[in-house]
């Protein structure tokens, strides 16, 4: 049974004191542990120790590990500062969504460690879903098309933030950040370039600019380009873009 269909508090089979804990309290404790030490550290035994109780008593509230992770993901989604409904400006709405999701994952790096699996349909996650899909509603697209377009921006954010979180975790573990790593590996890079065997690698090293941007600028650089890909598939949007391009062309004299 889905955790979202289970009663919030376990049923009492006999008279006695009301349950001492809540699902929200357990979830909040789990999130705090995961933020500080990683997702694996947020075990029921550890949560119970933080709450001053036995692990078995908490399984009455959250029966499975999978349920706990769903609750944690949904609780985190509740932090996203999204309006109740889309504004009508789909570009602005999706940009806000991207920035909010990036900020969320950076606050809770364990989110980036989760592998893609079944979706979480808790109340906060559903609110985000309604906002996201609603931003592209009204263009007459099939829902599968909307899902594909949402996937473009979601995939971009996930890819960038997983890299950011990965670098941050490596820097924490080794005390070597990206710039220091690039400096340390410089002699090997120079050898690869001098060999002439890897021309595209040489171009990347010599010409690329984005790795040296500050993280916010690097994120925005890619984000500015994703909506153009989405716009190309939207009825009216693509036509408007083409009309604007034609209008911007210099007038040609007629014979």
pLDDT of res. 170: 84
Domain that holds residue 46: 3-76
The b-or-e profile of 206-217 (16+ CB within 10 A means b, else e) is eeeeeeeeebee
Compute the residue count for the chain.
255
Given 24, 42, 76, which residue is the final one in a domain? 76
Instruction: Give tens-digit pLDDT for 194-249.
Output: 999 999 999 988 887 665 668 888 899 889 999 998 999 888 754 344 334 434 44
Q: Give the residue from 76, 101, 133 where a domain finishes.
A: 76
CATH of the domain at 50: 1.10.10.60
CB 33 within 8 A of CB 41: yes
Q: Worst-scoring range by mean pLDDT, 4-8, 16-20, 145-149, 185-189?
A: 16-20
**Residue 208, Cα to own-chain centre: how many angstroms?**
25
CB 67 within 8 A of CB 118: no
Task: Give residue 246's pLDDT.
Answer: 34
Spatial separation of the C-alpha atoms in residues 185 and 205, rounded to whole Å: 12
pLDDT for 183 equals: 86
Structural domain total, the chain:
2
Same domain for 128 and 181, yes or no, is yes
**pLDDT at site 86:** 96
246, part of any domain: no
**Domain stops at, among 76, 109, 129:** 76
pLDDT greater than 90 at residue 28: yes
Torsion, Cα 120 123 124 126, to 10 degrees, reads 60
- Mean pLDDT over residues 119-129, rounded? 95
How do residues 47-64 score in pLDDT, each as one tens digit?
Answer: 999 999 999 989 999 999
Q: What is the CATH number of the domain that holds 95?
A: 1.10.357.10
70, 111: one domain? no
Q: Are 121 and 221 found together in one domain?
A: yes
């Amino acid at each position: 049974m889905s955790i979202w269909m289970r009663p919030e508090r376990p049923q009492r089979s006999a008279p006695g004191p009301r349950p001492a804990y809540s699902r929200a309290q357990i979830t909040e404790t789990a999130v705090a542990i995961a933020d500080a030490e990683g997702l694996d550290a947020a075990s029921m035994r550890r949560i119970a120790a933080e709450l001053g109780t036995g692990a078995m008593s908490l399984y009455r509230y959250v029966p499975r590990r999978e349920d706990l992770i769903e609750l944690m993901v949904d609780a985190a989604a509740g932090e996203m500062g999204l309006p109740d409904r889309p504004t009508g400006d789909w570009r602005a709405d999706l940009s806000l969504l991207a920035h909010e999701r990036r900020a969320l994952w950076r606050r809770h790096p364990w989110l980036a460690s989760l592998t893609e699996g079944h979706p979480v349909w808790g109340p906060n996650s559903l609110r985000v879903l309604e906002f996201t899909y609603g931003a592209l509603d009204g263009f007459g697209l099939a829902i599968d098309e909307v899902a594909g377009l949402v996937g473009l921006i979601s995939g971009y954010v996930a890819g960038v933030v997983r890299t950011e979180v990965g670098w941050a975790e490596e820097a924490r573990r080794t005390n070597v950040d990206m710039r220091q790593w690039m400096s340390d590996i410089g002699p090997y890079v120079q050898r690869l370039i001098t060999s002439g065997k890897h021309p595209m690698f040489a171009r990347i090293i010599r010409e690329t600019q984005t790795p040296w941007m500050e993280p916010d600028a690097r994120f925005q650089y890619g984000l500015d380009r994703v909506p153009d890909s989405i716009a190309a598939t939207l009825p009216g949007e693509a036509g408007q873009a083409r009309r604007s391009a034609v209008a911007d062309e210099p007038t040609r004299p007629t014979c």
